[in-house]
Amino acid sequence: MKRVVIFGNSGSGKSTLAKEYVKKYNLSHLDLDILAWNATNTTTRRALNESTFEINEFINKNKM
């Protein structure tokens, strides 16, 4: 199993690059911004138990 981690400064193109890799290499994608921040107010942190649940759900769906 191969894993790719893309990191960088805000606005550097991480999400754009990740989307290209997902399509090109048929990868699974876990967007940490979606896990961490409230969808209706992106300056507010989501509850940790919500983020943890979604991370575990992603892991279980993408086991190899």
Torsion of CA 55, 59, 28, 42, to 10 degrees: 0
Domain range for 26 is 14-61
Q: How many domains does the chain have?
A: 1
Encoded tokens for 59: 């892991």
pLDDT tens-digit readout, 1-60: 678 889 999 889 999 999 999 999 989 998 888 888 888 887 899 999 999 999 999 999
Higher-confidence residue: 63 or 59? 59
CA dihedral (11, 14, 20, 26) positive or negative: negative
31 domain residue, yes or no: yes
CB-based burial label for 24 (10 Å; 0-12, 13-18, 19+):
exposed
**Is 1 part of a structural domain of the chain?**
no
- Could you give the count of Cα atoms lying within 13 Å of 29 in the half-sphere of its Cβ? 17
